[in-house]
A and B are shown apart, each in its own frame.
Chain A
């Protein structure tokens, strides 16, 4: 993994010359997707013509419900099969790769519905993320001396990661006893145990209380600071505003806008997608505002 760190100004400079239109070219894309199509019967859930994700940035993927954001996430991480298209991670074709191989290559994801492993301890949850544990093979597992050294390293790494997410004091509890927000933290910590090059977070803020939200935001910024690219799906506009360097807007399976967070929200296509294109017309029979009627 590239040990280079990124500061916010530097990242914003990168985006200075990027066109603010759907499918715009980025200087150094870590993800490149072309003509990705996913159909559910007659419904085209995802139809993304061209998309690039800038390395080292925090990119938000937003859009109204049913826009196809999560489906697109699942396609990129091989948790769903596309009907067409190609996509690349670090210029390598990952269209047909299995989800586990992709994770090993450095692209790790979390889930919208948190997948805490309930009947495992919090510490074991975190340890599961670690790579290169020879004790994970059947025959080596029988002989503790073969894996105990690595296990101690893994435990140290897991404890450090849990400490960052304020979960260390819960390490021997079952993950199933954690609150919804803590599970989100645990899932993120577990994913970071793989030391990924890029992390994809599916609605990291859903069901998290406002106090915890602030610390989660801090965590995500930290992840980026350490050089990991972040792509996240989110409904919470404050969060999108606060931490993302670049925003991609999806609606009805297509990418309809891209740009920095402050500008993209003002884009009329985006407002139409969220509120409907007739949000300025009055819903009265004669097309006049009710307020005007009352004054008459």
Chain B
């Protein structure tokens, strides 16, 4: 078994494209769930909007890559409005139901036969739709930091990705220390109290939903750009739940929670997967085959999460005393 290779892989993935995508998605959930208490179980819907906006605008409608980004952000805001208008006046549970349903509806719409002309049906959209993005790549070859190596294209995506993460985290920091952020936290604790103090709770919840949604859309952008393809079936509800896992791992309502959560989550997932793979192919575990590694690593991640919830429910950055005060 090649432990060096396993560690290399795990380290690379822990700061790689997947980690960035989930970090952005979780940062959006952090605003919505962590600070405002909105249960958005359909964050992947915003990623669909991001990914398909780019791919369809460029490939199906012949727009430029930059127009596509604008289309993506605007569509994301519209989706927030559609989700929020009917549900934000109701109890938190209703938003959860509506968002998870919406994410599935969107996935089924983009994979439908009727819309294959624009969204490519089951096969999704594949093509060089992010060519204008890669044209700006300043790297002549892939970059490597110690054992971590990225290809030429990936290096550019990872660079831009972490810059986006930094901007998103900075915005989260600036907003949550402000009076605006204080109202969000107040809404999380008791929205009727905030309403009785003369604040328009509905509008603040809408803003949080929109802001978090845009962060999810940024995740969708990176996802689509990195692979230059969008596949409907990679946007299953699991994605949302992994993002929640990452958020809780890092600590909800903590500025750096999503970043650290995402890095650790991907490190562990890849580390466990690669270790299993290596030990199986070396014949140490005779009753397993390497095709079973995929599901089994999630079993281990699941066990790890249970331990986290039992022994450190506040996540890495959280404050246990604070958690104990929470009413829900």
Among B178, B198, B207, the residue within 8 A (CB) of A147 is B178
B178 pairs with A115, CB closer than 8 A: no
Give Cα A140 to B178, complex, Å: 9
Given contacts A136-B183, A141-B175, contact A194 B322 (CB under 8 A): no
A100 pairs with B179, CB closer than 8 A: no
Kindly list chain B residues whose C-beta atoms are within 8 Å of the C-beta of A101.
198
Give Cα A139 to B17, complex, Å: 30
B196 pairs with A108, CB closer than 8 A: yes
The chain A residue with its CB closest to the CB of B193 is A115
CB distance from B193 to the nearest CB of A (A): 4
Given contacts A124-B182, A138-B180, A174-B322, contact A99 B196 (CB under 8 A): yes
The answer to whether the Cβ of A133 comes within 8 Å of any Cβ in the partner chain is: yes
B186 pairs with A117, CB closer than 8 A: yes
Number of interface residues of B (CB under 8 A): 32
Task: Mark contacts of B242-253 with chain A using CB atoms, 8 A cut-off: 1 yes-contact digit, 0 otherwise.
Answer: 000000000000
The answer to whether the Cβ of B190 comes within 8 Å of any Cβ in the partner chain is: yes
Kindly list chain B residues whose C-beta atoms are within 8 Å of the C-beta of A110.
196
A120 pairs with B196, CB closer than 8 A: no
Task: Mark contacts of A131-143 with chain B using CB atoms, 8 A cut-off: 1 yes-contact digit, 0 otherwise.
Answer: 1010111101111
CB distance from B194 to the nearest CB of A (A): 7
Among B171, B177, B195, B196, the residue within 8 A (CB) of A191 is B196
The answer to whether the Cβ of B192 comes within 8 Å of any Cβ in the partner chain is: yes
Among B175, B198, B211, the residue within 8 A (CB) of A100 is B198
Among A117, A137, A177, A190, the residue within 8 A (CB) of B185 is A117
Give Cα A102 to B196, complex, Å: 8
A136 pairs with B179, CB closer than 8 A: yes
The answer to whether the Cβ of A111 comes within 8 Å of any Cβ in the partner chain is: yes
Within 8 A of B (CB), among A85-135: 98-104, 108-111, 115-120, 124, 127-129, 131, 133, 135
CB distance from B167 to the nearest CB of A (A): 12
The answer to whether the Cβ of A4 comes within 8 Å of any Cβ in the partner chain is: no
A129 pairs with B179, CB closer than 8 A: no
CB distance from A230 to the nearest CB of B (A): 16
CB distance from B248 to the nearest CB of A (A): 16
Give Cα A127 to B178, complex, Å: 12
The answer to whether the Cβ of A77 comes within 8 Å of any Cβ in the partner chain is: yes
Q: Interface on chain B toward A: helix, strand, loop, or mixed SS? A: helix
CB distance from A137 to the nearest CB of B (A): 7
The answer to whether the Cβ of A79 comes within 8 Å of any Cβ in the partner chain is: yes
Give Cα A137 to B192, complex, Å: 19
B198 pairs with A118, CB closer than 8 A: no
Among A98, A142, A154, A190, the residue within 8 A (CB) of B197 is A190
Give Cα A77 to B174, complex, Å: 34
Kindly list chain A residues whose C-beta atoms are within 8 Å of the C-beta of B282.
none
A176 pairs with B179, CB closer than 8 A: no
Given contacts A119-B325, A128-B186, A128-B197, contact A141 B179 (CB under 8 A): yes
Among B177, B196, B211, the residue within 8 A (CB) of A109 is B196
- Which of B177, B195, B200, B207 has the most chain A CB within a 10 Å cutoff? B195
B198 pairs with A103, CB closer than 8 A: yes
Given contacts A118-B325, A174-B322, A176-B325, contact A144 B198 (CB under 8 A): no
Give Cα A140 to B179, complex, Å: 10
A135 pairs with B199, CB closer than 8 A: no
The answer to whether the Cβ of A269 comes within 8 Å of any Cβ in the partner chain is: no
Among A120, A129, A142, the residue within 8 A (CB) of B189 is A120
The chain A residue with its CB closest to the CB of B180 is A141
Among B181, B190, B201, B326, the residue within 8 A (CB) of A115 is B190
Task: Mark contacts of B293-328 with chain A using CB atoms, 8 A cut-off: 1 yes-contact digit, 0 otherwise.
Answer: 000000000000000000000000000011001110
Kindly list chain A residues whose C-beta atoms are within 8 Å of the C-beta of B180.
135-138, 140-141
A127 pairs with B179, CB closer than 8 A: yes
Give Cα A167 to B146, complex, Å: 55
Given contacts A100-B201, A104-B198, A128-B186, contact A151 B179 (CB under 8 A): yes
Given A100-B201, A194-B197; 20 other pairs, CB 8 A cutoff: A77-B196, A100-B198, A103-B195, A103-B198, A115-B190, A118-B189, A119-B185, A119-B325, A128-B197, A129-B197, A131-B198, A135-B178, A136-B179, A136-B199, A138-B207, A141-B174, A142-B175, A151-B179, A174-B321, A187-B193
Residue positions of A touching B, CB distance < 8 A: 77, 79, 98-104, 108-111, 115-120, 124, 127-129, 131, 133, 135-138, 140-144, 147, 151, 154, 174, 176-177, 187, 190-191, 193-194
Residue positions of B touching A, CB distance < 8 A: 171, 174-175, 177-183, 185-186, 188-190, 192-201, 207, 211, 321-322, 325-327
Closest 6 CB pairs of A and B: A176-B325, A103-B198, A141-B180, A141-B178, A115-B193, A135-B179
- 12 residue pairs of the A-B complex, CB under 8 angstroms, read A77-B196, A79-B192, A120-B182, A120-B189, A127-B179, A129-B197, A137-B180, A143-B174, A144-B174, A174-B321, A176-B326, A191-B197
